[in-house]
Structure 1
Amino acid sequence: MDIRQTAEQIAEAVGSENIAAATHCVTRLRFALNDESKVDKEKLENIDAVKGSFSTNGQFQVVIGQGTVDKVYNELVDVTGIGTSTKEDIKNAAEKKLNPLQKAVKTLADIFIPILPAIVTAGLLMGINNILTGPGIFYDGKSFVDVNTAWKDFADMINVIANTAFAFLPALIGWSAVKKFGGNPLLGIVLGLMLVHPSLLNAWDYGKALEAGKVPHWNLFGLEIQKVGYQGQVLPVLLASYVLAKMEVFLKKKIPDAFQLLIVAPVALLVTGFLSFIVIGPITFGIANWLTDGLVGIFDHFAAVGGLIYGGVYALLVVTGMHHTFLAVDLQLIGSKGGTFLWPMLALSNIAQGSAALAMMFLSKDEKVKGLSFTSAISAYLGITEPALFGVNLRFRFPFICAIIGSAIAGVFITVNKVMASSIGVGGIPGFLSIFPDKWGPFFIGMAIAIVVPFVLTYLFGRVKKVN
């Protein structure tokens, strides 16, 4: 590959004068463009080094590949004279073109994506714990640790490590949210930990205490405030983080530098803390539970319809970038109900897109498309669907539709069979580790549907259409 020539070809296809800013990640060039309609996508897709392109959250991204993208980027900077940019520069430039809904979705994505590695890691470790402690996996009616008692403490230690991210989830969200809203992320951590302080009633025991009339209270000059924690809750810490960050920014503008260390953080945290326990927490806790109960009720009474819609629509959410908003819903379901019925459909949707892309490897006679189809299918099977979605399936359209059909059918099957995940994990074939072991059977059947149906439909339609 001629790196210099590749950079020149990309600059020509995108338009040097059309580039407001550019950077790169591990595999992709990321552009903030003045006008995406000016991109010559056909010319771009025909460049040997380009494995696909797509637009999301106001950014135009070109898939190059690990180990090569940084070299192409350096040459691109030299060829166009645009200068280097950071990811924040690109995000800020791209955000100006977004409408209010897109900005809201992007805000949630910017908050939850940074904490995703901790959540996914915790999910995988919980999956290992589920295998060791789940009855009936290795022995009839008994778990592995029941029979092999020497492993019991080993499993218990894994459980402690895995549960930490979920037990202190508000601290993770507080750190990321306060940082996003312009405040000190360390104060966000303190805020999140404050909401799950050991002296507060555990949120998971709140229902029992309320029923028994034994909810502890603070008495603030005649005003009774419930001493309740917000373990596993998302909305309370999100709103509290916004208040904390904005209050901190306001105080920094009003207070002289010499006094900021003594006044800004203590006042901002104290006021936000009182507001959190008196107003923000109770209101958002009630809203979150109302929304959760409503969603659970819909899937309880109309499971097939819910599975059909969410299983089919999820890939469209990925295309628009709105799928990140449902991470908050999954976390809320896990915190409130002990598991999520949405995330298993995510895993099957990823597999379905991979299967459709794999079928294109057998259909296409273009060696570049063959190679991209195979590598993107493997990536989708391991939970990363963007290469399959934007590099193959949306490019030919019918594989994308076939994948949606397969995902919707699989979604109906696993939803009707009450498949749930105890945590968020890797959204592909390894996703079974996050599923409750007693539901592995229907989940594996759903997985088989997500593999076979999109592949067969894509292949048959492609043969009729005579794809080259």
Structure 2
Amino acid sequence: MDYKHIAQELLQAIGGKGNVEEAAHCATRMRIVLSDERKVDQAKLDGMDVVKGTFSTGGQFQIILGSGTVNEVYKELAALTGKSSDIQAKDVSKAVPKKLNPLQRFVKLLSDIFVPIIPVIVAAGLLMGFNNLLTAQDFFIEGKSLIEAYPNITDLAALLNTFANAAFLFLPILIGFSATKRFGGNPYLGAALGMLMVHPDLLNGYEYADAVPKEEVPVWKIFNFEIERVGYQGTVLPVLVSSFVLAKIETFLRRRVPSFLDNLVTPLLAIFITGVLTFALLGPFTRNTGNLLTDGLVWLYDTTGMIGGAIFGLLYAPVVITGMHHSFIPVETQLLADLAKTGGTFIFPIAAMSNISQGAATLAVLLLTKNSKIKGTASAAGISALLGIVEPAMFGVNLKLRYPFYGAIIGSAAGAGFVSLFKVKAIALGAAGLPGIISIKPGSITFFIIGMIISFTAGFLATIILGKRSDK
């Protein structure tokens, strides 16, 4: 491909150099913040063979080019616009907030905090999945687990369990670093705050619920005040709120402490003040709030069952279009961090049903359409969606033609209703598609596979029916 020529055509189609505020790319898409999206020549973009689809969300105009191609085109576009070609140096979010409403800004805030730590959560969760495969009864051998049948791999399972638990055990450190950085504070102070919240001298947060009825919760007694000496292992909301307070206190102090004392006084006071507020006020309140939220979600899922799951499955893809699905990340993180109580996350299996159905609808288009460009896009995008990368299928084919999108959400609702009926949950995050099997709780894998078959079949057939009707 002549990447330079492609970049020149793209730049002309999006309104020229002067219309580009910021630009970056992800695995498959160019992500551009434009001064005025009305200047985009959509017809020209649609006519380019290399463009698999376009959409605008969250203040960014995104052009789907495909893996590999997007990297090379971005380099040429960066040279033409004078932007840095180093993706690590790009931060398109700086130009986005003014284009977003308050709800979108909040979702983006959560995304900025949690997206950087997703790889850690995914790795830990998958390791947990491998451990469960080794220790699950009746999964491979009737009446036994693999470690019971082969005792020589017992220590391997123990090692996997230790590696898997680390990220969730010290989750406040990861969130503290990422959140404090996002709120404008020193991320290393945020990490230190997270360390305070999981210090081994504290009562382990997982043991708190058992210690309360026994009146065995340790406390600090300071000036006739009692502060519970309890850790926050596996929590999300307490460290989020505390990180915000830390960043604001640090910013306040840096503006007022003389420069020659800044490096000494500011970190000391910021950590001490935030630490006291965390254990005395913020932590207990947000822990209870987080517990209510988690319990409410679990209750809602258990109560609504198949109907609730089907509705969620029907709405999941429309939510993805708005970008609001990023708000699910902290919820899933909390559900996974408290596996003993929640049993895992029900959101991941439903997301997988949605992606499988989107892929099925796209492959149905491959059979129906006579347009060679759409065929070329649909073949690759459909397989990609089945593997968990859904944007090329959803935005490049299904939304553009509409009827495949309707077929896809019908299939998603059918599959999501089925997995919800059998309480399928994931114990890890990962690719929400065929590879997602390893993320599912061992006892539910069969139901998850059946759910994917239902989702694929229903999405495929619904698209075929809707497609034939749309031709009449």
Instruction: State the TM-score, normalizing by the size of structure 1.
Output: 0.95
What is the match of residue 458 of structure 1? 463
Measured after TM superposition, the shift of residue 88 of structure 1 is 4.6
Instruction: Quote the residue 1:206 is aligned against.
Output: 208
Note the alpha carbon deviations across 1:56-103, whole angstroms, 9 max, x for none: 211111122333334323433455x45447665421112211111111
SS at match of 2:137: coil
Match in the other structure for 1:245: 247
Aligned to 1:389: 394
Q: Does the 8 A contact of 1:373 with 1:392 survive in 2?
A: yes
Q: Deviations over 1:413-464 (max 9, x none)?
A: 1112111222222211111212111111221111111111111111232233
Superposed, 1:92-107 pairs within 5 Å as 92-107=94-109
Q: How far apart, in 1, do the equivalents of 2:67 and 2:351 lie?
A: 25
CA–CA separation in structure 1 for the residues paired with 2:313 and 2:66: 29
Cross-structure match for 1:179: 181
Q: Name the structure 2 match of 1:12.
A: 12
The residue that corresponds to 1:364 in the other structure is: 369
| AA aligned opposite 2:468 | R
> Is the Cα–Cα contact under 8 Å of residues 411 and 454 in structure 2 kept in the other structure?
yes
Distance verdict in 2 for CA 1:24–1:293, change over 3 Å = closer
Aligned mates of 1:90, 1:421 — CA distance in 2: 32
Counterpart position of 1:121? 123
Q: Cα 1:401–1:124, aligned 2, differ >3 Å: closer, same or farther? A: same
**Distance of aligned partners of 1:406 and 1:201 in 2 relative to their CA distance in 1, 3 Å threshold:** same
CA distance in 2, matches of 1:401, 1:89: 34
The code of the aligned residue for 1:395 comes to K
Provide the residue aligned with 2:35 in structure 1. 34
* Between 14-23 and 217-226, the greater mean CA deviation after superposition: 14-23
- The residue type equivalent to 2:7 in the other structure is A
The 10-residue stretch of structure 1 (456-465 or 191-200) with the greater mean CA deviation from structure 2: 456-465
Question: Is the 2:313–2:412 contact (alpha carbons within 8 Å) kept by the matching residues of 1?
Answer: yes
Q: Could you tell me how far apart the structure 2 residues matched to 1:260 and 1:388 are?
A: 52
- Residues 356 and 399, structure 1, Cα contact 8 Å, conserved in 2: yes
Matched AA of 2:2: D
Q: Kindly indicate whether residue 267 of structure 2 is the aligned counterpart of residue 262 of structure 1.
A: no
Corresponding residue for residue 222 of structure 1: 224
- Give SS of 1:29's match: strand
Partner of 1:282: 284
Verify the 8 A CA contact 1:21 1:82 in the aligned structure 2.
Answer: no
Q: How far apart are the structure 2 equivalents of 1:269 and 1:464?
A: 64
Q: Do the aligned residues in 2 keep the contact of 1:216 with 1:226 (CA within 8 Å)?
A: yes
Equivalent residue, structure 1, for 2:360: 355
Displacement of 1:176 in angstroms is 0.7
State how far apart, in whole Å, the 2-side matches of 1:182 and 1:128 are.
38
Quick one: structure 1 residues 341 and 71, their matched pair in 2 at CA, closer, same or farther if it must change by over 3 Å?
Answer: closer
Q: 1:331 aligns with which of 330, 333, 354?
A: 333
Tell me the distance in 2 between the aligned counterparts of 1:26 and 1:414.
30
* Structure 2 counterpart of 1:341: 346
Alignment of 1:169 with 2:174, yes or no, is no
2: CA distance between counterparts of 1:378 and 1:154? 34
1:204 and 1:408 map into 2 onto residues whose CA distance is 35
Secondary structure of 2:290's partner? Answer: helix
Aligned residue number for residue 142 of structure 1: 144
Are the equivalent residues in 2 in contact too, given 1:233–1:332 (CA < 8 A)? yes
Which one-letter code corresponds to 1:33 in the other structure?
L
Which whole-Å deviations, capped at 9, do the CAs of 1:2-57 have from their partners, x for residues lacking one? Answer: 33332232122211143223233343222111222332223202111112212221
Instruction: Provide, for residues 209-249 of structure 1, a one-character-per-residue CA deviation record: whole Å limited to 9, x for no partner.
Output: 11222111111221111122111111000000111111112
Q: Is the 8 A contact 2:422 2:447 kept in 1?
A: yes
Greater Cα offset, 336-345 or 446-455: 336-345
Q: Which amino acid aligns with 2:11?
A: A
Other structure's SS at 1:96 match: helix
Q: Residues 67 and 342 of structure 1: is their aligned pair in 2 closer, same or farther, counting only changes over 3 Å?
A: closer
The answer for the alignment partner of 1:63 in structure 2 is: 64
Structure 1 residues 170 and 104, CA gap change in structure 2 (3 angstroms): same
Q: Determine if contact 2:134/2:146 at 8 Å carries over to the other structure.
A: yes
Segment of structure 1 superposing worse, 312-321 or 269-278: 312-321
2:403 maps to which residue?
A: 398
Provide the C-alpha distance between the structure 2 equivalents of 1:290 and 1:78, rounded to a whole number of angstroms.
51
* Distance (whole Å) between structure 1 residues aligned to residue 236 and residue 108 of structure 2: 17
Equivalent position of 2:274 in the other structure: 272
Output the amino acid matched with 1:38: K
Mark the runs of 5 or more structure 1 residues left unpaired by the alignment: none
Alignment-derived partner of residue 314 in structure 1: 316
Cα deviation 1:249-269 (Å, max 9, x = unaligned): 221111222212211111111
Q: Select between 246-255 and 84-93 the one with higher mean Cα deviation.
A: 84-93
Residue number in structure 2 paired with 1:293: 295
Tell me how far apart the structure 2 counterparts of residues 412 and 170 of structure 1 sit (CA, whole Å): 34
Task: Tell whether the 8 Å contact from 1:421 to 1:434 is kept in structure 2 after alignment.
Answer: yes
RMSD: 1.8
- The one-letter code sitting in structure 2 at the alignment partner of 1:107 is L
1:418 is aligned with what amino acid? K
Cα deviation, 1:263-284, whole Å, max 9, x if unaligned, reads 1111111111111101110000
Contact 2:33-2:95 within 8 A present in 1 as well: yes
Please name the residue that 2:431 is paired with. Answer: 426
Q: Does the aligned pair in 2 maintain the 1:120–1:426 contact within 8 Å? A: no
Identical pairs, percent: 49
Between the aligned partners of 2:189 and 2:335, the Cα distance in structure 1 is: 26
AA paired with 1:305?
Answer: I
Contact 2:172 2:197 in 1 (8 A): yes
> Paired residue for 1:378, among 352, 373, 383?
383
1:232 equivalent among 234, 253, 258? 234
Kept after mapping to 1: 8 A contact 2:403/2:470: no
* Rounded Cα–Cα distance in structure 2 between residues aligned with 1:4 and 1:420: 46
In 1, Cα distance between equivalents of 2:26 and 2:347:
29
Kindly indicate whether the alpha-carbon contact (under 8 Å) linking 2:84 and 2:90 is maintained by their aligned counterparts in 1.
Answer: no
